[in-house]
């Protein structure tokens, strides 16, 4: 195995870990906080997710000699941010995380479940995702309205760096955010001491609680959005780069590690999509059989970054929340645009997609159940009625 390691794979693995963590950890923190987690629980969840996806990626890549890249569910975190806390608080959210994780395992063990997820109409699934993301994508512009001197540099960094390197656009915005917090924001007296105190990571165990609202608001939409927008595209990236698809193994492994992360606040891990291409492509190594080291190095990088989660969370908590929300919103613009195009591309399904999008984005809650679930139901019903009429 050591004979396969290369400088190229090490570099690409480290870049993958940095880009994957820096581009979306703000979304994860925002989602966990919205779901009811306090700062310590959010930091614990971020740490648990980073370590879980790091270990899972290292083990799968080493065992299969394929560059299996694992990531946390960024769309899932966005779902949490828009759904908000359910009755019972973060404990109910953790219970929903566990149910979702068990669903991943079942999707790998029981083929009909995996086929059922694959059968969800893509326009409806993408429209639900776009509806979840749209309000979060407003944050960068709300930050400018809050304070142009603070919000505008973050947006400009994303635009300028993204014009040259799309992958580094969000990390650049994040770097400007940290500079603003360090030099332009009046920090509270206890601010830096809070950051220093968080240097030692702490895992916060949350006893799960279960409720119907948690299942319908969080578990089911989280399962669907993660499978449809992360796992299935992740498999496509692997096969397009010439690696044999092993969805059953991947679903079971990510499900098991999601189960382990859930009691400590982690919502879900899954197959990576964008960063998967970095490890599976020629940039990682000219020889495909040696690219697995890039995914292994990325996994090790995620573990190290996970151990810094307490410091990151403490630093974020001492600045105006709208600024880190702006970074999170920028991180989601690409996913929003992709989901929107996919949702409305086919004229035959455009109306069903539009209803799904509008209901999901509306923020409504009927019978204690959030708009994401009702959007999926409404769009699916319209599509079913139209197909029945045409038949």
What's phi and psi for 189, nearest 5 deg?
Answer: -55, -35
Q: Quote the pLDDT of residue 195.
A: 57
Distance CA 70, CA 276 (A): 8
Specify the DSSP class assigned to residue 305: H
CB half-sphere exposure, 172, CA atoms < 13 A = 16
Each of the 391 residues of the chain gets a pLDDT tens digit; together they read: 778 788 888 888 888 888 788 878 888 999 999 999 998 899 999 999 999 999 999 999 999 999 999 999 988 998 898 888 888 999 999 999 999 999 999 988 887 776 777 677 878 888 888 888 888 889 899 999 998 998 999 999 999 999 998 878 888 998 898 888 878 766 665 555 555 555 666 789 999 999 998 998 999 999 988 887 788 888 878 887 888 888 889 999 999 999 999 999 999 999 987 678 788 888 788 888 888 999 999 999 999 999 888 888 777 777 788 888 888 888 888 878 888 988 899 888 899 999 999 998 887 777 666 777 788 888 888 888 877 765 5
Is the torsion defined by CA of 196, 197, 198, 200 positive or negative?
positive
Count of residues making up the chain:
391
Q: What is the pLDDT of residue 390?
A: 59
Domain locations along the chain: 2-335
How far is the C-alpha of 358 from the C-alpha of 298, rounded, in Å? 38
pLDDT digits (tens, 9 = 90+) for 66-75: 999 999 998 8
Dump pLDDT digits (tens) for 76-101.
998 898 888 888 999 999 999 999 99
Q: How many CB atoms lie within 10 A of CB 166?
A: 11
HSE of 170, CA atoms in CB hemisphere, 13 A: 23
Name, in order, each residue with C-beta under 8 angstroms of 379's C-beta and a sequence gap of 6 or more. 121, 123, 124, 127, 128, 352, 353, 355, 356, 359
**28, 305 contact by CB (below 8 A):** no
DSSP symbols for 250-263: HHHHHHHHHHHHGG
Dump the DSSP string for 1-52. Answer: -GGG--HHHHHHHHHHHHHHHHTTHHHHHHHHHHTT--HHHHHHHHHHHHHH
Burial class (CB in 10 A: 0-12, 13-18, 19+), 14: middle
Per the CB < 8 A criterion, the answer to whether 270 and 57 are in contact is no
Burial zone of 186 (CB within 10 Å; 0-12 exposed, 13-18 middle, 19+ buried): exposed
The answer to whether 331 and 27 have CB atoms below 8 angstroms apart is yes
């Amino acid at each position: 195995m050591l004979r396969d390691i290369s400088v190229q794979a090490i570099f690409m693995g480290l870049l993958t870990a940095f880009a994957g963590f820096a581009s979306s950890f703000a979304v994860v923190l925002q989602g966990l906080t919205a779901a009811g987690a306090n700062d310590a629980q959010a930091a614990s969840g971020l740490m648990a997710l980073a370590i879980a996806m790091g270990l899972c990626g290292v083990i799968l890549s080493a065992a299969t000699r394929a560059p299996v890249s694992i990531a946390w569910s960024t769309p899932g975190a966005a779902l949490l941010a828009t759904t908000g806390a359910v009755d019972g608080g973060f404990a109910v959210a953790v219970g929903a995380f566990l149910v979702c994780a068990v669903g991943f395992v079942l999707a790998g063990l029981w083929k009909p479940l995996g086929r059922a997820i694959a059968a969800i109409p893509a326009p409806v699934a993408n429209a639900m995702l776009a509806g979840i993301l749209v309000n979060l994508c407003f944050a960068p512009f709300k930050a400018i309205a809050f304070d142009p001197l603070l919000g505008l540099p973050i947006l400009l960094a994303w635009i300028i760096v993204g014009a040259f390197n799309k992958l580094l656009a969000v990390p650049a915005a994040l770097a400007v955010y940290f500079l603003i917090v360090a030099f332009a924001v009046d920090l509270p007296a206890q601010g830096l001491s809070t950051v220093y105190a968080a240097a030692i990571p702490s895992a916060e165990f949350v006893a799960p609680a279960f409720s119907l609202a948690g299942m319908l608001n969080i578990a089911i939409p989280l399962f669907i959005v993660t499978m449809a927008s992360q796992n299935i595209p992740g498999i496509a990236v692997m096969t397009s780069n010439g690696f044999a698809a092993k969805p059953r193994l991947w679903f079971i492994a990510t499900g098991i590690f999601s189960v382990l992360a859930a009691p400590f606040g982690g919502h879900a891990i899954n197959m990576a999509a964008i960063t998967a291409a970095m490890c599976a492509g020629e940039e990682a190594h000219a020889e495909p059989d040696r690219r697995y080291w890039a995914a292994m190095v990325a996994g090790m990088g995620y573990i190290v970054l996970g151990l810094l989660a307490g410091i990151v969370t403490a630093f974020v908590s001492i600045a105006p929340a709208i600024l880190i929300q702006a970074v999170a919103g920028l991180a989601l613009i690409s996913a929003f645009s992709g989901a929107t195009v996919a949702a409305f591309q086919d004229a035959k399904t455009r109306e069903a997609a539009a209803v799904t999008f509008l209901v999901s984005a509306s923020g409504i809650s009927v019978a204690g159940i959030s708009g994401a679930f009702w959007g999926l139901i409404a769009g699916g019903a319209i599509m079913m009625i139209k197909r029945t009429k045409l038949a």
